[in-house]
Structure 1
Amino acid sequence: MQISHVQINHEGRSQVAFLLSCVDGIIHLYTQLTSSFFFPMLGRVSDHKINILFMHIFDQPTGERVICAGGQNGEILLGFYDKDGKEIKTNAIKIFSPITSTLIFQPRSHSQADELHLVVTCAIEQAIVYRSIKTNGLSVSKPLPLSGNFDSVLCSHVMDVDWDGEKEILIGTYGRQVIIYKQVTGTQFYTILWKRQFAYPIYRIVHLDLNRDGLDELIVTTMYGVHIFQ
């Protein structure tokens, strides 16, 4: 595969197009369309020149879609779309810190009907969980305790680490910590379940079944290495 760009005239105006040669034997031509045609919220981002640092797209089984974008200026933008791509509603809030990650999730592992929550991590403040975002938007939130004590929080992830059917929240920090939070049963609060210090800052956390034994491994990417936990 190879990608290159070229200047073309399209719909009466000059613009840059990308040419992508692929193994399917076709050279694909990509041009820019008005983003507001598909996602009006993204069009507003462009209008206000917000430097987006992280964006998460969550597709629901019903075909509905939720998008959350976090900006360098601390702005959090949340948009809901129906199965036809029509924007239903949007929410926005601004906090005093650049946004390093946003993550939309459902709290239970095997329930597609669960309400949606949102984890937001930032460079200066504590990580925040916005609850029931489809109903409450960005008005109801809880901080993750001690998440701001280990330098900037760089990434977030959710998975069921203890196999009880409830998803835990994981964050990675520039202060070399991976912290796992578990929701206290019957409350909206989270407590630290597990914490480990690494040799270098944590850049990304994911999980997948690497060895195909039916159990997911936890993969932690640091500044100078990749760690796999079984």
Structure 2
Amino acid sequence: MLNGMYPEKHFYRFRSGGRTNIYGLSVVSIPISSSSSDANSADYANDEYTQLFPKTKNLVFVSAFQSVVCLINASNHWKVVELPIGEDGEIVSLTAFTTNQTNLFLVLTVVNPKMKIEVDDEVIHDFALRIYSCQDILSDDGLVRLMRNVQVIKIDFTPTQVIYTTFEKRGQPLDCIIVCGFDGTIHLYTETSRGKWDEEREQVYFPLLRELAIDRTSITALEIRDINNKIIIAAGCNNGLLHLAIMERDASTGLITTRVDLNASSIDLSSLISSMVVFQSSSSKGDIHLVVTCAIERAIIFRSIDKKGLSSPFYLPESTQYDSVLCAHVADVDWDAKKEVLIGTYGRQLLIYKESVNEDNELEYYLASKHSYPHPIYGIQTVDLKEDYMCELIVNTQYGIHVEEPNGEVFNARLIELAREFNTTTEPTEPPDPTESIDADPAESIASADPAEPPEPTESTELPSPTDPTDPTESIRLQDDNEVSIEQES
């Protein structure tokens, strides 16, 4: 699948000693207004495509041990910027988010390898939460100023995932950073009026998380989504327990109508949960689904969790044949207006599953293709890096980032095909002529409508190629003194 649709392949190798993990990938998209310095106002206003599809500044942040690699979209190319964090920190997890559209926050949990002590034969490390911020990331020196402004918060636990979300406090929405850890507690940080982040001692805002904290359950994967006025909270634990809770939001006021968890349910998957994705498919009329990956078990899609909770699992075929399943992503990567489920494994395989509907009108998935990479796959994302409204496929592997560039001709052909199908289905039809004879056998028509057997999955091997002279990347490294130097990739 990827060879024909994503023929251009680029690879950015981390510097010597650099490596990533399952918590090391985050994407931020920032709308660009006509008054922004990133947009020419006259061209922006007169561009009919821009009016239909507003431009965005897309940034991909990837942890690389003692630095953060950032991919930034640009016209017909993208930039690669390396942001060192110093030798006193090794990145455990990261996330990035924006507030007020231009305020960017980059949040890291780090461990200081030089600061550790032994107590009763147990090594105790020095962990910290670092919050970098910039009030105008769209400015030319936005990333430089981002790394200069940092708040460091000491933490006394081993962190796992860090995420951003919002919650309501006394009826007011607040930005929130949640840090999960092996201490069995969820740590919640909010921004004060002074612009600093403090830990909230109250955990009444997410009842499920409060209950898990009481049980001292260590969360390794956390997903919080707001879809169709429902707040979905899914928590996966190191002991294999998966917890799901759904809270309702009032459509007219936007406020949560009750703090009671609706459809709360749990299930034991018998293996550490490595990642989760909440999504909606195109074939299930707006139902909400949940992809869950486990270290030693099959990847699972829990279907219609907003209606059935965790009672309708579908196990993705062959997902256990390539070592541990590390990550998942959901996106339309073949441009057929249907979302595929992408699974990355420690066995260096990218598995792509396509959706179908069985005879009972239930959502199912079959393995459409699989692709090999040189190293274990820790993260997958899709994002537009060339400002051409086509998303590149980002595959984050242990020692570097693969960027799969889409085929514009195939993309355009697919759009034309979809437009024709849409016009065909929406055109008014004339009533049949009662005097006209019908030759077709109704039984044949019914038989031809039966779904075909899923095709055999295709295979390909993806290997990093040497940098091409026409490689549309520009590599930049921010030095420790925040000076910018441009380097040629080898």
TM-score by length of 1: 0.85
Instruction: State the 1:204 CA deviation.
Output: 0.2
**Percent identical:** 38
> In 1, are the aligned partners of 2:151 and 2:196 still within 8 Å (CA)?
no
Q: Which amino acid aligns with 2:206?
A: F
| Residues 1-230 of structure 1: pairs in structure 2 closer than 5 A | 1-5=149-153, 26-35=194-203, 37-60=204-227, 62-83=228-249, 84-85=255-256, 86-89=259-262, 90-108=264-282, 114-186=286-358, 187-230=362-405
> In 1, are the aligned partners of 2:326 and 2:378 still within 8 Å (CA)?
yes
Could you list the per-position Cα deviations for residues 113-161 of structure 1 after superposition, in whole angstroms to 9, with x for gaps in the alignment?
Answer: 6001111100001101111111110011110000000000000000011
Could you list the per-position Cα deviations for residues 69-101 of structure 1 after superposition, in whole angstroms to 9, with x for gaps in the alignment?
Answer: 100000101111122333341111111111001
Query: Which residue of structure 1 lines up, in the alignment, with residue 34 of structure 2?
Result: none
The alpha-carbon distance between structure 1 residues 20 and 4, as it changes in their structure 2 partners (threshold 3 A), is farther
Instruction: State the 1:108 CA deviation.
Output: 2.0
Aligned residues: 214
> In 2, are the aligned partners of 1:5 and 1:18 still within 8 Å (CA)?
no
Query: Which residue of structure 2 lines up, in the alignment, with residue 11 of structure 1?
Result: none
Task: Return the alpha-carbon distance in structure 1 between the equivalents of residues 152 and 293 of structure 2.
Answer: 35
Q: Which amino acid aligns with 1:46?
A: A
Instruction: State the 1:26 CA deviation.
Output: 4.5
Task: Return the alpha-carbon distance in structure 1 between the equivalents of residues 207 and 265 of structure 2.
Answer: 12
Task: Return the alpha-carbon distance in structure 1 between the equivalents of residues 188 and 224 of structure 2.
Answer: 25
The alpha-carbon distance between structure 1 residues 63 and 200, as it changes in their structure 2 partners (threshold 3 A), is same
Q: Which amino acid aligns with 1:38?
A: Y
Query: Which residue of structure 2 lines up, in the alignment, with residue 12 of structure 1?
Result: none
Q: Which amino acid aligns with 2:213?
A: S
Coordinate RMSD, CA, aligned? 2.5
Instruction: Give 3-state SS (helix, strand or coil) of 2:200's partner.
Output: coil
Unaligned runs of 5+ in 1: 7-15
Task: Return the alpha-carbon distance in structure 2 between the equivalents of residues 227 and 31 of structure 1.
Answer: 36
Instruction: Give 3-state SS (helix, strand or coil) of 2:208's partner.
Output: helix
Instruction: State the 1:170 CA deviation.
Output: 0.3
Task: Return the alpha-carbon distance in structure 2 between the equivalents of residues 19 and 136 of structure 1.
Answer: 33
> In 1, are the aligned partners of 2:190 and 2:200 still within 8 Å (CA)?
no
Q: Which amino acid aligns with 2:222?
A: M
User: Relative contact order, CA 8 A, sep 6+: which one is greater?
Assistant: 2
Instruction: State the 1:19 CA deviation.
Output: 11
> In 2, are the aligned partners of 1:104 and 1:116 still within 8 Å (CA)?
yes
Task: Return the alpha-carbon distance in structure 2 between the equivalents of residues 18 and 106 of structure 1.
Answer: 29
Instruction: State the 1:214 CA deviation.
Output: 0.8
Q: Whose helix proportion is higher, 1 or 2?
A: 2
Instruction: State the 1:189 CA deviation.
Output: 2.6
TM-score by length of 2: 0.41
